[in-house]
């Protein structure tokens, strides 16, 4: 998993946003990336409907920094786009304890690098091809010696 972490660490912030949008797409959502420039605290919107006409189900903020995300950034997400969407905050550098406390109080789902890697591995096969190119992986089979042979 460390190799996958290292590969993700080399992505630029826009590629990281694309990775998260691709992950949500693999999970069955239709996504809209906010693109470069001011995003108002939201990087990706995820919808159930293909046209994005319904209220988004998820508003996601993606931070690919060296420093941990603070409570200020979490508060910015909760106040961004006063939609009835659920909030998702992905940070490859983790969260301060205050940020985790604010996220818990505001029902913001936080995802750190370890969980992001786990989700990428779990949903990789369903991800769009252009997103897979960001983190090229190949399935590998190894003997399962944990079985007792029965």
**Residue 103 · residue 60 · CB < 8 Å:** no
Count, in order, helices (H) and strands (E) of the chain: 6, 5
Please report where in the chains the tokens 């293909």 appear, as a residue.
50
Global confidence as pTM: 0.86
For residue 37, what pLDDT is reported?
63
pLDDT tens, 84-111? 778 999 999 999 999 999 999 999 999 9
Could you tell me the two tokens for 150?
């029965």
**Hey, is 64 helix, strand or coil?**
coil
Mean pLDDT rounded to a whole number for the chain: 89
Terminal C-alpha separation, the chain:
30
pLDDT tens digits for range 108-122 = 999 999 999 999 999
């Amino acid at each position: 998993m460390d190799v996958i972490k290292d590969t993700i660490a080399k992505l630029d912030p826009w590629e990281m946003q694309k990775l998260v949008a691709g992950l949500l797409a693999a999970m069955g959502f239709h996504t809209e990336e906010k693109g470069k420039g001011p995003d108002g605290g939201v990087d990706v919107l995820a919808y159930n409907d293909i046209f994005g006409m319904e209220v988004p189900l998820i508003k996601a903020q993606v931070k690919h920094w060296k420093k941990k995300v603070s409570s200020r950034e979490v508060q910015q997400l909760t106040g961004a786009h006063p939609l009835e969407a659920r909030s998702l905050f992905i940070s490859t550098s983790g969260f301060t304890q205050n940020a985790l406390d604010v996220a818990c109080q505001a029902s913001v789902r936080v995802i750190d690098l370890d969980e992001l890697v786990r989700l990428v591995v779990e949903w990789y096969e369903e991800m769009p091809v252009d997103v897979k190119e960001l983190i090229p992986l190949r399935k590998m089979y190894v003997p399962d010696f944990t079985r007792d042979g029965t």
